[in-house]
Structure 1
Amino acid sequence: MRSYYQSLWSKFKRNFVQYSFQAIKDPKWFLMFCVTRIQILRSIGILVNRRAIDQTYQKINQGNNTLFPNLDIRKICETLNEDGLFLGINLPSDILQEILVFSSSIKYYANNNPNLKFSLVDKEKSELKYQQNFAMATHVHRSILCPAIQRLEDDPTLREIAARYLDTNPILIDTRIRWTFPVNDPLNESVRGFFNFHYDLEDYRFLKFMFYLTDVFPLDGNHVVAKGSHKRKRLRDQFSLTRDAIDQDILNYYGHDHVESIYGKAGYGFVEDFYCFHKATLPISSNRLILEMTFAMNHYSSLG
């Protein structure tokens, strides 16, 4: 029990300044962040934030404009509503290769700290320089630098899925390329939470399209989701200050058959409501690379 309160205090100290700054910068974000964890208030927030969908999304042309002409949008949205997760949105091979080339040439920041900048070719030197092992590396993307990613961001089928699920014109709020690396040392406090079950609060409702850019099989750092947890949470999880849960609690409450470990070859993709409990796993055998695109109902100034 003592270790729990020590961990809670550590997280509070780490996040207090950041959350206070964001609350002052954007009170609407602070309201959302406070009420969305409680499911009934989240549902009210979703209703209030719905807006009429433009004809752009109502009369979408899935011909040559989309990279995903064979996806069943209605089925995907039904599955998202039920499970908070849909699997099997796969990248064309030429798009995958272009993103891989791009990912090898860009700068990243390590361990969720924008001050720890490095290039992949200098990873070992940078670890020595910053005196810590890198468990994670992130690049927040500007799509103009990579046409393949820009095509994904603008893809009419993906945007139609987002529009129907969010029930409003979707707003692209973030695109990231993220590495996770095998490490033997204890994880840095700033990244430890990524590898524990948790749920996110970036808007009243939002979703992420995620694409593995490397093969991900057991021991390769797969993503894990508790299906249906976007609609059903224990009261203790709704009122928790940390929004995380231990593995056994998740398995006991939702059942083993609802906890999905996601594997696939490079290019394998899925879409998820990140109000679901989810986590990354730490790779053991090889580095993992993933592309994430986040669509939401609103864009808050506190989030950049």
Structure 2
Amino acid sequence: MKFLLNNFNGLKYLLGRFYQCRRSYSFIRKTLQAVKLDRQTLLLCDNYQTNYKVLDKSQKDTVFSDRSQDDHITFLRQTAFSSGLRLSENTQQSLIEAASQRSLVASGSRRVFTLADAVADPNLRQTVAIATIIDSSDLPSIQDLAASPILLNVVTTYLGYAPREVSSWFFWSFANQLPQTEREAVYQTIQYHYDVHGLNFMYVNFYLLDTDADSGAHVLISGSHRQKRLQQLLGSARLMDEQALSCYGAERIEVITGTAGSGFFEDASCYHKALPPKTSDRLMLQLRYS
């Protein structure tokens, strides 16, 4: 059974790299949902965990959009991302308070501490690249946000089916002088790559603090979710900076900056990365729908 499961997961990882395979999977899921053979409930869990919670579809004003649903879909299909989301003030403040007060776990070392500990101990924050807020899916503000109709309508239309699962990753990226090798050793994705989480998925990302190129902005290559060479699909999912420039050109590299509370949809099958924070910390919430 374990052999079959591992091989099935490997097959999903291979097929999920191809745009047409993702579209075919979308058609199958949509068909199954139309005849009530696919689960209709929406589950929320923490990143890479299975502590699932059933979500009630939220009607609360947790997020607003400066773009129409059709515009979001158009931008996603053309470029792999669409900005224009804004958290409500209450949601934004609730999330910042949780990130400031709750326990954190350092990526790589698994050390547990709080933001206050990091402020009091400069040596601590100089050794941590990423610190995840523990049990973020327990937060009512994230539960309401994940089930927001504004998000779900765009996600459902873009994926082609109603998602069954949402994975929440709420985390700090600390501004420090860690070298690239140490950042990569604790899984900070500062090199271009594309994600393959099953046969289809997409993200909604929110900046909780003002974020620019010096504070950890997200970077992606516009249109690369649908345009990859065969060797990129069959080989490594990573791409060096010089390869990105050679394959796609500087004009297609998008540095996504934003004010506190801003957000964007993303098809993370495009090439993307995070810039290492230099002048100030980044606080980000990432919701993965599948």
TM over 0.5: yes
Q: Does structure 1 residue 135 correspond to structure 2 residue 115?
A: no
- The residue type equivalent to 2:165 in the other structure is L
Q: Equivalents in 1 of 2:32, 2:70: separation in Å?
A: 18
May I ask how many residue pairs the two structures share in their alignment?
A: 268
Partner of 1:201: 196
Change (3 A) 1:25 1:105: farther
Q: How many Å apart are 1:39 and its aligned residue?
A: 4.2
Q: Does structure 1 residue 89 correspond to structure 2 residue 85?
A: yes
Q: How many Å apart are 1:122 and its aligned residue?
A: 1.9
Q: How many Å apart are 1:82 and its aligned residue?
A: 1.4
Instruction: Give the strand-richer structure, 1 or 2.
Output: 2
* 1:1-304 superposed matches below 5 A: 27-51=7-31, 67-68=63-64, 71-112=67-108, 115-123=110-118, 133-139=127-133, 141-144=135-138, 146-186=139-179, 187-188=181-182, 189-191=184-186, 194-240=189-235, 242-296=236-290
Cα deviation digits, residues 242-269 of structure 1 (max 9, x gap)? 3100112112222222111011111111
Q: Equivalents in 2 of 1:148, 1:77: separation in Å?
A: 25
- The residue type equivalent to 2:141 in the other structure is A
Cα deviation digits, residues 39-90 of structure 1 (max 9, x gap)? 4444444444444557999xxx998666326641121112111111001111
For residue 79 of structure 1, give the secondary structure of its aligned residue in structure 2. helix
Q: Equivalents in 1 of 2:269, 2:257: separation in Å?
A: 21
Q: Equivalents in 2 of 1:67, 1:197: separation in Å?
A: 29
The worse-fitting range, judged by mean Cα deviation, of 226-235 and 65-74 is 65-74
Name stretches of at least 5 consecutive residues in structure 2 with no aligned partner. Answer: 42-56
Change (3 A) 1:127 1:116: farther
- The residue type equivalent to 2:171 in the other structure is R
Q: Equivalents in 2 of 1:50, 1:283: separation in Å?
A: 40
Q: Equivalents in 1 of 2:65, 2:187: separation in Å?
A: 38
Name stretches of at least 5 consecutive residues in structure 1 with no aligned partner. Answer: 1-20, 297-304
For residue 291 of structure 1, give the secondary structure of its aligned residue in structure 2. strand
Q: How many Å apart are 1:140 and its aligned residue?
A: 5.3
For residue 138 of structure 1, give the secondary structure of its aligned residue in structure 2. strand
Q: Equivalents in 1 of 2:62, 2:209: separation in Å?
A: 23
Runs of 4+ aligned residues of structure 1 deviating over 3 Å after TM superposition are 23-28, 38-57, 61-67, 124-129, 140-144
- Kept after mapping to 2: 8 A contact 1:112/1:138: no
Q: Equivalents in 2 of 1:138, 1:111: separation in Å?
A: 7
